[in-house]
Amino acid sequence: MSHLINPLATTAQLISNPSSHLPTEIQDSIRFYTARLTQAAGILLRLPQDITAQANVLLFRYWLVDGMMEWEFSDVSAATLYLTAKISSSPRSLRSITNVYAFLASPTGLEYLSSSQATADDKPAPDPSTYYLSESTYITKRNHLLLLEGQILNALGFNTHVALPHPLAITYLQTLDVFSPSHKPKNIGKQVAHRTIAHLNTALLSPQLLYLTHQPAALATAAIYLAARELGVRLPEGSWWEVFDCEREELGFLVVGLGSVEG
């Protein structure tokens, strides 16, 4: 079962780390922006969502060891995404990584990041010259990212394992018989599953660092509890969450945390 368990941040790491001198609002903004950047890069690279999520978890772990101001945020994002994809079944080349991040740093890329609601007519025509990388620039960037990759691995003690709660959540929903036709209205089980996954995705952006402080089983359980409550779906009587290794106190904390991120 070790593959379902993550290394968690210690209390000492959360209270005192190389970025503790920064105001909390600044730390939260840096994490939020960098996580969104990683997510956008993952989409452009056509990476599976789980790889992008794992990259963000590794990135936040790294920032508990090394300060946020040690390296450019976009470089940390790129190096972490490259590392996570490299050890997965969907690796991406450094050239692809650098090209995507060059695009995201361009005026067109910034527009792509800042407004998901703008129509194609509202957006400026892409100017390739603003995100073109010459061979010498690419080599410099590549070497820099390789250096940063080594720094990240060293800071993490070469432990790159990240277990996500999403697969567990679906398994738990099946165990709880949420997809049963007896639930009304029809297909409410699918709605609960969709809302559960949405809560787990937004939790990646939590300023409370929920993915660094709680195990996947507890995150999955809390997301199910919150989603079912929001949609009015009755779950089994009794302390069903204890079956999934989640105590009442932890469940309550996580439900509040997940709800605050959603809001």
How does pLDDT run across 178-211, given as a tens digit for each residue? 988 776 677 888 999 999 999 999 999 999 999 9
- Same-domain pairing of 201 and 226: yes
Report angle CA 116, 229, 9 to the nearest 5 degrees: 70
Name the domain boundary from 155, 178, 196. 155
Name the domain boundary from 128, 155, 182. 155
Report the number of distinct structural domains present in the chain.
2
- Same-domain pairing of 151 and 178: no
pLDDT given for residue 262 in this prediction: 55
Range of the domain at 256: 166-262
- Cα–Cα distances in Å, from 146 out to 74, 78, 138? 14, 10, 12
Domain annotation covers residue 56: yes
Domain annotation covers residue 98: yes
230 versus 113: the higher-pLDDT residue is 230
- Same-domain pairing of 170 and 145: no
Question: What number is the average pLDDT over the span 123-140?
Answer: 85
Q: Which residue matches tokens 């070790």?
A: 2
Domain annotation covers residue 160: no
Domain annotation covers residue 249: yes
- Same-domain pairing of 104 and 79: yes
Question: What number is the average pLDDT over the span 141-170?
Answer: 97
pLDDT given for residue 117 in this prediction: 45
Domain annotation covers residue 161: no
- Same-domain pairing of 134 and 219: no
- Same-domain pairing of 171 and 116: no
The C-alpha atoms of residue 261 and residue 90 are separated, in whole angstroms, by 30
- Same-domain pairing of 251 and 180: yes
pLDDT given for residue 259 in this prediction: 87
- Evaluated on CA atoms 92, 219, 163, 79, the torsion sign reads positive
- Same-domain pairing of 88 and 113: yes
- How much of the chain, in percent, has pLDDT values that exceed 90? 79
- Same-domain pairing of 173 and 254: yes
Name the domain boundary from 129, 155, 181. 155
Total Cβ atoms within 10 A of residue 158: 8
The CATH number given to whatever domain includes residue 231 is 1.10.472.10
- Same-domain pairing of 147 and 173: no
- Cα–Cα distances in Å, from 209 out to 27, 96, 220, 256, 257? 11, 29, 15, 13, 10
Question: Which range (14-23, 112-121, 217-226) has the least confidence?
Answer: 112-121
pLDDT given for residue 119 in this prediction: 46
User: What confidence tens digit (pLDDT) does each residue in 35-79 have?
Assistant: 999 999 999 999 999 999 999 999 999 999 999 999 999 999 999
The C-alpha atoms of residue 258 and residue 207 are separated, in whole angstroms, by 11
Question: What number is the average pLDDT over the span 74-88?
Answer: 98
- Same-domain pairing of 7 and 135: yes
- Same-domain pairing of 125 and 181: no
